[in-house]
Amino acid sequence: MKRIAVLTSGGDAPGMNAAIRAVVRSGLSRGWEVFGVQHGYAGLVGGEIRNLSARDVGGIIQQGGTMLGSARAPEFKTIEGRTKALRHLHQHDISGLVVIGGNGSQTGAHALSQMGLEVVGVASTIDNDLYGSEMTIGVDTALNIALEAIDRLKNTASSHQRAFLLEVMGRDCGYLALMSGIAGGAESIVIPEVPTEPETIAQELRSAYERGKAHAIVVVAEGAKYNAEALANYFKEHREELGFELRAATLGHIQRGGLPGAFDRILATRFGAAAVAALDRGEHGVLVGLNKGAITTTPYAEVTGKKKPLDLGLLELAKQLDG
Ligand code: ADP
């Protein structure tokens, strides 16, 4: 009988629970024992490992966050930390590990697999910045939350002929800003991949004002050269250049919470089951992801350290459609 463990690491993402449930129940259906590691790599280093039954993962598929908890664990970046982690797994006779997480977490998983452990990663981050998967767990839900904020801001902005800066998450990746900006019909989208000066945004807002728009929404990625706060400070001094009165809002961690949508629950369920299936056929040192509609596995060596490209043609499309 095989014994495997599952953990969630790094930034939490809606849908992680559905992935945990799928890993546990796919493992149990093979007659394996499945263990949960609390608090990501911190719990692995500290030995926080417990047996999980089918009932333990009942009633979680609809919940945001992660029932196992997550953490940032600097100690895991050291060889000593990872050796401790391996020791705890050996003590429980666990030979396989599923790591549900984003870029940093998968880099850590790669390091662990290079030390001989059978590791399979599950692509999970709201930032969608993970190479090896076109979509990651949590992105769709986070996008819909950003979209709801844009729609609401548009209502109030139109009532007062205001411009709004809305900062969304994404670390140094502009995916969430770009996609929510397109879906929300934003007048301007500011992303780290295309460094934009405040003067350019001022011109865009002025132009929207002169074209008679009742509102203007600028979606700003948190990792952009000028984030919402920096832009708001700049515009305070250049108020007359805009036409509109300006307000700024930052979505922050609100974007991480909430119930995972259908897309994320299904993606996470398929990813979790695929990770166990990979371990079952002896495939490890790989990341489970979604590519061209299919669930795929990509070797860690091809994933970690790479930057996922953003389709900048979509930014051009958004500009074209800003009538
Ligand atoms: P995310 O997985 O959401 O990108 P982080 O970047 O914070 O989140 O990474 C989560 C954890 O993964 C870190 O706290 C650390 O324990 C581990 N990790 C990140 N980078 C590395 C690395 N280069 N080597 C080993 N472990 C790492």
Q: What is the pLDDT of residue 201?
A: 92
Q: What is the pLDDT of residue 156?
A: 86
To which CATH superfamily is domain 141-256 assigned? Phosphofructokinase domain (3.40.50.460)
In what order do the strands lie in the sheet containing 188-190?
A: 188-190, 216-221, 162-168, 245-250
Residue 108 near ligand 1, beta carbon < 6 Å = yes
Distance between Cα 152 and ligand 1 center (Å): 35
Q: What is the pLDDT of residue 10?
A: 94
Q: Which pTM does this prediction carry?
A: 0.95
Catalytic sites, residue numbers: 127
Q: What is the pLDDT of residue 242?
A: 85
For the chain, residues with pLDDT lower than 50 are none
The domain 3-138+260-302 having CATH identifier 3.40.50.450: the answer here is: yes
The atom number, within ligand 1, closest to the CA of 11 reads: 3
Phi-psi sector, 170: left (phi>0), alpha (psi -120 to 50), beta? left
Query: Can you tell me the distance from the alpha carbon of 268 to that of 260, in angstroms, rounded to the nearest whole number?
Result: 10
Identity of the amino acid at 237: E
User: Per-residue pLDDT tens for 214-227?
Assistant: 889 999 999 999 99
Query: Can you tell me the distance from the alpha carbon of 315 to that of 312, in angstroms, rounded to the nearest whole number?
Result: 5
Distance between Cα 40 and ligand 1 center (Å): 10
Residue 101 near ligand 1, beta carbon < 6 Å = yes
Ligand 1, atom 20: nearest CA belongs to which residue?
104
Query: Can you tell me the distance from the alpha carbon of 76 to that of 305, in angstroms, rounded to the nearest whole number?
Result: 17
Residue 188 near ligand 1, beta carbon < 6 Å = no
Q: What is the pLDDT of residue 68?
A: 98
Query: Which sequence spans correspond to the domains of the chain?
Result: 3-138+260-302, 141-256
Distance between Cα 73 and ligand 1 center (Å): 7
> Cβ(138)–Cβ(15) under 8 Å?
yes
Mean pLDDT taken over the chain: 95
Residue 226 near ligand 1, beta carbon < 6 Å = no
Query: Can you tell me the distance from the alpha carbon of 126 to that of 123, in angstroms, rounded to the nearest whole number?
Result: 10
Residue 43 near ligand 1, beta carbon < 6 Å = no
Question: Of the candidates 130, 135, 139, which has an alpha carbon nearest to the alpha carbon of residue 308?
Answer: 130
Question: Of the candidates 125, 87, 90, 86, which has an alpha carbon nearest to the alpha carbon of residue 105?
Answer: 125
Residue 170 near ligand 1, beta carbon < 6 Å = no
Q: Which of 107, 122, 139, 255 to mutate to test the pocket of ligand 1 (most atoms within 8 A of CB)?
A: 107
Same fold, 3-138+260-302 and 141-256: yes
Distance between Cα 215 and ligand 1 center (Å): 40
Q: What is the pLDDT of residue 5?
A: 98
Q: What is the pLDDT of residue 278?
A: 98
Distance between Cα 108 and ligand 1 center (Å): 6
Q: Which two tokens stand for residue 118?
A: 């059978």
Measured N-to-C along each axis, helices 139-160 and 175-184 cross at an angle, to the nearest 10 degrees, of 50
Question: Of the candidates 76, 80, 78, which has an alpha carbon nearest to the alpha carbon of residue 97?
Answer: 76
Residue 10 near ligand 1, beta carbon < 6 Å = yes
Q: What is the pLDDT of residue 237?
A: 86
> Cβ(161)–Cβ(245) under 8 Å?
yes
